[in-house]
Amino acid sequence: MKKVIVVGGGPAGLMAADVLCGAGVSVDVYDAMPSVGRKFLLAGKGGLNLTHSEPADIFVTRFGARRGQIESLLATFGAAQVRDWAKTLGVDTFVGTSGRVFPTDMKAAPLLRAWLHRLRYPETGQAACFHMRHRWTGWQSDGAACTQLKFETPGGKVTAQADAVVLALGGSSWARLGSDGAWVPLLAQRGVAVAPLLPSNCGFDVAGGWSEHFTSRFAGQPFKLVAIQFTNAQGQRFERRGEFVATATGVEGSLIYAASSLLRDDIAKKGDATFYLDLLPDFSTERVLSEVTHPRGSRSLSSHLKSRLGIDGIKAAILYELLSRADVADAPKLAAAIKALPIRLVATRPIDEAISSAGGVPFEAMDRGLMLGALPGVFCAGEMLDWEAPTGGYLLTACLASGKQAGLGVLKFLKAGG
């Protein structure tokens, strides 16, 4: 019987194991953590966003420069297949108001338990064997075959050998859950090119930081019903409504994450990036100016903005934080700022705080089955590949799809005599 080692017990690794076990292959899953799926469970803490229901031709546009490569993966295992797969595990799904797809109970744990039960006790196929607290540290020796691996365990060093290997080691965000990027030098030593790991779906620091007053009162508070607009150095324009959160040092949240790759790359190129915040996207510029200039009598400006435009709380605070007294007192300048307040960012937050990471193993280093050209018999899947996507189910769907593709790639390799 052929044997395959899967290193990494996240969604991509488990999906590869699922494909292989179902085909009757002996699979050993190794993971550095005490249990598998830790990031998967944490990501689902507020409701597991499995995928997105939008049409496939729109779905594939969420993967930026890697659209072509991810689109080929999704052709085999896309959003519809994710929902079908969950159904086979006894988990029904529903489409939320935003188009995102969730399990009916919103929880990750029941789905993961059902998945692991199928891997350990399959009705057909081969059971997977799990090895926890096994941290992959490379190959058995410098000249060892690429399918001869070594691991560090609480009991000491161990070695393992297989007919093929699937690496699904994650990126470099949330290191406490196992994704620490320690695999990068191991692959580089074997001649595999790896694009630098960068924060994605991340927060940013604002220029100069917030004032102590703003931070003490509004850090952690959301900007709701707003829009942002950003044009990068190459002329790419981002414009979207949504919400985000003020942090102690800057901004984060879904709207910021959606633009994070453009913002991050502009900061890397020129040292900063400025987006424009529209506090009232449902109001025209003319209407805002009309309301700001409306006679306010003895009322304070703050009371006037609240009664005429509904601007109070953090929305009012950001105006006073970033505008000079003279600009606040100048009605046209104040109205313009309400519709397009410049927010200058100077740094991403550390990668370990990011939801995901960009960079990793380029698709050009692998064949269509995700096997490394430099290491025959070694396949890669998941977030360790060089791609990124916004939150909304896109990340998990592509991770699952890449695991599926790697599993199928291994089967083809083994059938060919690998």
Q: How far apart are CA 169 and CA 136, in angstroms?
A: 9
pLDDT given for residue 44 in this prediction: 82
In angstroms, how far is CA 121 from the centroid of its own chain?
31
Other Cβ atoms within 10 Å of 164 Cβ, number: 25
Angle of helix 67-74 versus helix 394-415 axis, rounded to 10: 70
Helix, strand, coil share (%) of the chain residues, nearest 5: 40, 25, 35
E-assigned strands of 69-221?
93-95, 100-103, 128-131, 135-139, 148-153, 156-161, 164-167, 195-200, 204-206
Domain with CATH 3.50.50.60 in the chain: 3-199+358-415
53's tokens: 């229901």
Q: How far apart are CA 262 and CA 236, in angstroms?
A: 8
User: Phi and psi dihedrals of 217, rounded to 5?
Assistant: -100, -30
Instruction: Give yes or no for a contact between 163 and 418, defined as CB atoms under 8 angstroms apart.
Output: yes
pLDDT given for residue 174 in this prediction: 84
Q: List per-residue pLDDT tens for the chain, 418 residues long.
A: 899 999 999 999 999 999 999 999 999 999 999 999 999 998 888 899 999 999 999 999 999 899 999 999 999 999 999 999 999 999 999 999 999 999 999 999 999 999 999 999 999 889 999 999 999 999 998 777 888 999 999 999 999 999 999 999 999 988 888 889 999 999 999 999 999 999 999 999 999 999 999 999 999 999 999 999 999 989 999 999 999 999 999 999 999 999 999 999 999 999 999 999 999 999 999 999 999 999 988 889 999 999 999 999 999 999 999 999 999 999 999 999 999 999 999 999 999 999 999 999 999 999 999 999 999 999 999 999 999 999 999 999 999 999 999 999 999 999 998 7
Query: What is the distance between the terminal CA atoms of the chain, rounded to a whole angstrom?
Result: 13
Instruction: Determine the longest span between alpha carbons in the chain, in angstroms.
Output: 86
Q: How far apart are CA 400 and CA 382, in angstroms?
A: 7
Other Cβ atoms within 10 Å of 163 Cβ, number: 18
DSSP 373: S
pLDDT given for residue 283 in this prediction: 96
pLDDT given for residue 171 in this prediction: 94
CATH topology of domain 3-199+358-415: FAD/NAD(P)-binding domain (3.50.50)
Q: How far apart are CA 38 and CA 53, in angstroms?
A: 25
Amino acid at 289: L
E-assigned strands of 127-202?
128-131, 135-139, 148-153, 156-161, 164-167, 195-200
pLDDT given for residue 43 in this prediction: 83
